[in-house]
Amino acid sequence: MAIQDMPGASPWTQRLLAIYGALVLFFLMLPTVIVIPMSFSDSQYLEFPPTSWSLRWYREYFGSSAWMSATWTSLLVAVLTTLLATPLGTLAAYGMHCTSDRVRNSLQLLVLMPVVVPSILVAVGVFHLYAIVDLNYSITGLVLAHTALAVPFVIITVLSSLNNYDMTQEMAARSMGASRPQAFLGITLPQIRFSVLTGAFLAFITSLDEVVVAKFISGGENATITRRMFNALRDQIDPTIAAISTCLIVVSVLALAAVQFFGARSKGRT
Amino acid sequence: MAAAAASSQSLPITVSNLVKAYGDLRVLDDVSIAIRPGEFMTLLGPSGSGKTTLLMALAGFVSPESGSIRFGEQEMITTSPHKRGVGMVFQSYALFPFMSVVENVAYPLKIRGVSPAEQKSRAEAALEMVKLGGYGGRRINQLSGGQKQRVALARAMVFEPRIILMDEPLSALDKKLREHMQIELKQLHQKLDATIVYVTHDQREALTMSDRIAVINKGRIAQLDEPKALYRRPNSLFVADFIGETVLLPVQREGDGVSLQGRKLKLATPTPSGNGPLQLVIRPELLQLDAGDDGDTNTIAGVVRQTIYQGDSVLLIIDAGDGREVSVRIATSRAGQASLPDSGSRIALGLHRDDTVVLAEQAP
């Protein structure tokens, strides 16, 4: 534990620090954790703590074709976004890593724009653009917009691991007869794959969690789950939202666990 | 795959008029060099001289602005690195940490589509060559620095390239191991039948290993010669100063000759032309204390100022008048010690005419 490693701190200071740390963690977790018991409530309304328990809101969620179709839309968009953003971001990071510092720095600024600009502005911009090219309310449009939002996260994670990677390994491979793609796929990629997986996870979550852009450009039968939840909250407060949120938390945690699992394995190999 | 590889005949390398510039800086300034087949050629120079750039251009990782690089008869200037068929050893070893030792060494064979059984036997044989037989199953992070270097060597030669390039491969090792590996590399070269181009900034390493040395300065080849010639007949003050221990003494032109302390010097080489200032290049170990005048020896008079014990030798600092200092290195053998003069005594130093080299301060 880092707390015990602090040299020169008195036992009291250490104890206070531990309590403080626990409080911060508790505060961070609270909104997430509170949703879970609420989803098992038997009440008509969102309440905490629940007075009686039931699975009715899960039945409500899984029984509703509208919710289910929104869920599949979201998952499909998230998966497609991940499949698009991960190779794009990885290649962009690789390209940026191989250029001069000056080019890399200006590119970095450009590439981070979608993250820095308020999502509402991105949403408005994308909406107007899509109105021209007729992509509003389409899966393609959603995937493209989410990819633009997700690529920076892939670039950042992959770029940081490339910074700790010795590129002469790739030169060595090339001198020994490997073409550039062979050297990248066979030598570099295995060593940066944890960061690629992390980037893929972030891309997946970025898309799954995204609501502002989706609010503008998705709708009809291609509405995402977050958009539908947002609308549902506006009309009536209903514990179905808590049940859906719990499911989303489970999906996110499972994805993160998968990344950690594969990451631990790939680290164990080196 | 690469046609240049997998034959066991070494190739000559011909570099002509090679230019590489970064902005206004000419890192390689019209470099031409002919490397003989099977030769151990060292590119020696201070950091930033362009020696590594030249090596990287040979490997294909640096694209020159103009010029030509030929391996044998084949023009290589636009050939990608993986088609040049050269083995390469890097300063950082550049081993693949997620592969075992034998997987590392077999990699070039795997890329070439050699069968797994042959990969294994040839990789084992290459490991045997660098005295790492039985280490194939180890992980890279279980090896010492010297062992990693041997794996890198085995990997560079396992596919029997006709040209092997080495970029300061020993500089990360400690002095003792480095000197040991120098000898071993030299022996390996004799077995390999490959042309080796070796980059280093360590002049002693270059002298120890090379058939010939190209001294590189500011993107140009200052001198290309065999180690002995380079040491004894440097063609410029830069080379004289860079190779070995050097003391420079200003000397005067006198007619078409040169004089020091009013005496005309007998020279090994012709007096440099022009009328710029001249320097006598002295190697401290070539000066003799008990200089008899046999007609072939120049003498330099001076007063002993200081005696410095350095283990294998003793360094005498001599005041040669007019604030000029000369150092003399004397072996700590019995014979050397017997005649050691005291501080303050006047002595005459002898320098054989074959060792008397005078150079112009600025190259013509």
- pLDDT (tens digit per residue) in A158-176: 999 999 999 999 999 999 9
Among residues A41, A49, A33, A159, the alpha carbon closest in space to that of A94 is found at: A159
- pLDDT (tens digit per residue) in B219-253: 999 999 999 999 988 888 899 989 888 888 888 77
For residues A134-159, average pLDDT: 93
CATH superfamily, with its number, for domain A64-269? MetI-like (1.10.3720.10)
SS3 B192: helix
For residues A173-200, average pLDDT: 94
pLDDT range class, residue A46, cuts 50, 70, 90: confident
pLDDT over 50 at B91, yes or no:
yes
Q: Which residue has the higher pLDDT, B344 or A5?
A: B344
Asked if B138 has any chain A CB less than 8 Å from its own CB, the reply is no
Other CB atoms within 10 Å distance of the CB of residue B320 = 18
Under 8 Å CB-to-CB from A16, ≥6 apart: which residues?
none
The pLDDT value given to residue B4: 41
Q: Are A222 and A29 in contact (CB under 8 A)?
A: no
DSSP letter for B158, please.
Answer: T
Question: Which residue in B has a C-alpha nearest to residue A166's C-alpha?
Answer: B94
Question: Which residue in A has a C-alpha nearest to residue B163's C-alpha?
Answer: A175
Other CB atoms within 10 Å distance of the CB of residue B190 = 9
Task: Give this prediction's pTM.
Answer: 0.82
The share of chain B scoring above pLDDT 90, in percent, equals 48
For residues B323-327, average pLDDT: 81
For residues B270-290, average pLDDT: 80
- pLDDT (tens digit per residue) in B150-176: 999 999 999 999 999 999 999 888 888
Chain centroid offset of residue B305 CA: 34
pLDDT over 50 at B200, yes or no:
yes
- pLDDT (tens digit per residue) in B120-131: 999 999 999 888
- Contact B155/A176, CB-based, under 8 Å? yes
pLDDT over 70 at B298, yes or no:
yes
- Contact A270/B97, CB-based, under 8 Å? yes
pLDDT over 70 at B314, yes or no:
yes
Please identify which residue in the block is written with the tokens 């029984």.
A63
Q: What angle do CA A104, A105, A108 make, to 5 degrees?
A: 85
Alpha helices by DSSP H, chain A: 11-39, 56-63, 65-98, 101-116, 119-133, 139-163, 168-175, 180-183, 189-209, 212-217, 225-235, 240-269
Least confident of A12-16, B154-158, B264-268: B264-268
Which residue ranges make up each domain of chain A?
Answer: 15-54, 64-269
Q: Which residue has the higher pLDDT, A48 or B52?
A: B52
Q: Are A174 and A137 in contact (CB under 8 A)?
A: no
Whole-angstrom distance, CA of residue B335 vs CA of residue B345: 19
The pLDDT value given to residue B164: 94
Q: List the single residue in B5, B85, B94 with the smallest CB-CB distance to A172.
A: B94
Whole-angstrom distance, CA of residue B134 vs CA of residue B139: 12
pLDDT over 80 at A127, yes or no:
yes
- Strands B86-89, B163-167: pairing is parallel
pLDDT range class, residue B313, cuts 50, 70, 90: confident
pLDDT over 90 at B81, yes or no:
yes
For residues A174-193, average pLDDT: 94
Average pLDDT along chain B: 86
pLDDT over 90 at A187, yes or no:
yes
Among residues B187, B184, B230, the alpha carbon closest in space to that of B207 is found at: B230
For residues B136-146, average pLDDT: 91
pLDDT over 60 at A76, yes or no:
yes
- Contact A175/B1, CB-based, under 8 Å? no
Least confident of A114-123, A147-156, B215-224: A114-123
The share of chain B scoring above pLDDT 70, in percent, equals 95
HSE toward the beta carbon, residue B226, CA cutoff 13 A: 3
Whole-angstrom distance, CA of residue A94 vs CA of residue B252: 61
Tell me what ipTM this predicted complex has: 0.81
- Contact B97/A191, CB-based, under 8 Å? yes
Question: Which residue in B has a C-alpha nearest to residue A189's C-alpha?
Answer: B98
For residues A229-240, average pLDDT: 82
Among residues A30, A56, A62, the alpha carbon closest in space to that of A238 is found at: A56
Residue A7 preceded by cis peptide, ω within 30: no
For residues B193-220, average pLDDT: 93
Whole-angstrom distance, CA of residue B196 vs CA of residue B161: 10
Q: Are B189 and B160 in contact (CB under 8 A)?
A: no
In whole angstroms, how far apart are CA B119 and each of A188, B98, B104, B113, B135?
22, 18, 11, 9, 16
Least confident of A22-31, A85-94, B354-363: B354-363
For residues B101-126, average pLDDT: 94
- Gyration radius from chain B CA atoms: 24
Q: Are B237 and B272 in contact (CB under 8 A)?
A: no
Least confident of A198-212, A244-258, B280-294: B280-294
Kindly list the residues from chain A whose CB atom is less than 8 angstroms away from the CB atom of residue B82: 174-180, 182-183
The pLDDT value given to residue B38: 92
Q: List the single residue in B94, B108, B165 with the smallest CB-CB distance to A177.
A: B108
Q: List the single residue in A169, A171, A176 with the smallest CB-CB distance to B108.
A: A176
Least confident of A32-36, A119-123, A202-206, B38-42: A32-36
Kindly list the residues from chain B whose CB atom is less than 8 angstroms away from the CB atom of residue A173: 96, 107, 111
Q: Are A82 and A258 in contact (CB under 8 A)?
A: no
- Contact B1/A177, CB-based, under 8 Å? yes
B residues 314-343 closer than 8 Å to A (CB): none
Please identify which residue in the block is written with the tokens 């690529």.
A151
The pLDDT value given to residue B291: 62
pLDDT over 90 at B44, yes or no:
yes
pLDDT over 80 at B264, yes or no:
no
